[in-house]
Amino acid sequence: FVSGPVLAIESSCDETACAILSPTGECLAQRVVSQDGHADFGGVVPEIAARAHLALLPGLVQATLQDAGLKPEQLGLIAASTGPGLIGGLIVGTGFAKGMALALGKPFVAVNHVEAHALTARLPGLVPDGADFPFLLLLVSGGHCQCIAVEGVGRYRKLGGTIDDAAGEAFDKVAKMLGLGWPGGPALEKLAQEGDASAIPLPRPLMGREGCDFSFSGLKTAISQKLAPFGQNPLPRQFAADLAASFQQAVADVVANRIEHALAMMPEAKLLVAAGGVAANSVLRARLQKVAAHHHLRFTAPPLRLCTDNAVMVAWAALETCREAAERGLPHPDDSAIRPRPRW
């Protein structure tokens, strides 16, 4: 269903990435550049990100082709994340990919970034017994926080999502309050290892409520109230560690509860998949593993490099889309008229 390897570009946030997969999904080469220059601002600055994608992409694509030992003419398909995400970066990546496709006379496939996260678990060899549909996906990153019933290629049902912050955003904001820098998730997890998770009582927003929506802003407010008495004074190390551990525990409790509800909404699920940067958190992973075992379900979280933003998942989603079209006897997708979209 494709005439040669697929080259994909990811540029929806602050990772500039390129990957080349064989038609069967074998990774021939992949590169990711996590842009610097954002940390000083405590978050991703869209304009800086877009300009960095523009500066990085030509060299990155060339290097990835070299890694794979391929000439551009040998490619069968070009793909890019075309949304949702930061519009400046999406325009750069989509424009670059469409330009390549046009110059090479190859088809272009537009990939939904969230769909790419959703289908990652199906990469050949990733999940021991395969990730057959239907499965439940928990997507938890800096920009996304949702439960999705993945029923097939192109068939997704959003069961619930955040009504305020994404989980990663909450980790980053709390880490910032604790003076841990950005991105804060990994630093907060590290500090929490020294803390007592039951030391400081914190709320569990929406826990036990119907459905599987998330809310994290109340938790963030509670933390800032615990910190208020210290004013500008430095935090005692043990207190900071206890607060980090208690926060992490509260998030894990809430997420586990929301997943329990999501599974009740999707009894046909065969597998629970966690993806996105926050799925790297070992306390959260352990909790999800437990919930899955309780429901006699398998649990998987792709390795971190495939959990966070990358282009392998984009190339794979494009392949899955083409295979699905071929199996239905539909013509090869031609997305050359599709424009990047910040919301999708």
Size of the site for Zn ion (CB under 5 A): 1
Q: Which does 335 bind (CB under 5 to 8 A by kind): Zn ion, ligand KG4, none?
A: none
- Cα pseudo-dihedral 259, 260, 262, 266, rounded to 10: 130
Judged by CB under 6 A, the chain residues 9 through 28 that form the site for ligand KG4 are 13
Counting residues that bind ligand KG4 (by CB under 6 A) gives: 19
Sheet of strand 108-112, all strands in order from the earlier edge strand to the far edge: 27-34, 15-21, 6-10, 77-83, 108-112
Instruction: Count Cβ atoms below 10 Å from residue 264 Cβ, excluding itself.
Output: 12
Applying CB under 6 A, among 242, 309, 320, 335 the residue interacting with ligand KG4 is 309
143 is a site residue for ligand KG4 (CB under 6 A): yes
Radius of gyration of the chain (CA): 21
Residue 171 interface partner, choices ligand KG4, Zn ion, none, CB cut-off 5-8 Å depending on type: ligand KG4
C-alpha dihedral sign at 227, 238, 42, 170: negative
User: In this chain, which of 84, 88, 89, 277 binds ligand KG4, going by CB under 6 A?
Assistant: 277
Looking from the CA of 246 toward its CB, the CA atoms found within 13 Å total 20
| Separation between Cα atoms, residue 317 and residue 327, nearest integer Å | 15
Beta-bridged to residue 110, according to DSSP, are: 80
C-beta atoms surrounding 105 within 10 Å: 7
The yes or no reply on residue 185 touching ligand KG4 (CB under 6 A) is yes
Structure token pair of residue 127: 């999940």
Q: Which does 19 bind (CB under 5 to 8 A by kind): ligand KG4, Zn ion, none?
A: none
What's the rounded Cα separation, in Å, for the pair 220 and 76? 48
142 binds ligand KG4 (CB under 6 A): yes
Q: CB-wise, 14 or 309, nearer to Zn ion?
A: 309
With binding defined as CB under 6 A, does residue 84 bind ligand KG4?
no
Helices (H), 69-120: 87-104, 113-119
Shortest Å distance, C-beta 170 to ligand KG4? 8
Give CA torsion, residues 276, 304, 243, 38, to 10 deg. -70
Is 35 one of the binding residues for ligand KG4 (CB under 6 A)?
no
Cβ 190 to Zn ion, closest distance in Å? 23
Q: Which of 165, 309, 320, 335 binds Zn ion (CB under 5 A)?
A: 309
Out of 42, 95, 134, 186, which residue is the one contacting ligand KG4 (CB under 6 A)?
Answer: 186
Range 178-193 burial, b when 16+ CB lie within 10 A, else e: bebebbbbebbbebbe
253 in Cβ contact with 284 (< 8 Å): no
- Residue 102 three-state SS: helix
CB of 207 to ligand KG4, least distance (A): 19
**Residues in 174-203 that interact with Zn ion by CB under 5 A:** none
Among the candidate windows 63-71, 100-108, 146-154, 273-281, which touches ligand KG4 by CB under 6 A?
273-281
CB of 238 to ligand KG4, least distance (A): 21
Min dist CB 136 to ligand KG4, Å, is 18
Which residue, 2 or 17, is less far from ligand KG4 as judged by CB?
17
Beta strands in 4-123 (DSSP E): 6-10, 15-21, 27-34, 77-83, 108-112
Instruction: Kindly tell me which residue out of 308, 311, 315, 318 binds ligand KG4, with binding defined by CB under 6 A.
Output: 308
Q: Which residues are annotated as a binding site for substrate?
A: 139-143, 172, 185, 189, 281
Q: Which residues are annotated as a binding site for Fe cation?
A: 113, 117, 309
Q: Which residues are annotated as a binding site?
A: 113, 117, 139-143, 172, 185, 189, 281, 309
Interacting residues with Zn ion (CB under 5 A): 309
Interacting residues with ligand KG4 (CB under 6 A): 13, 141-143, 168, 171-172, 183-186, 189, 276-278, 280-281, 308-309
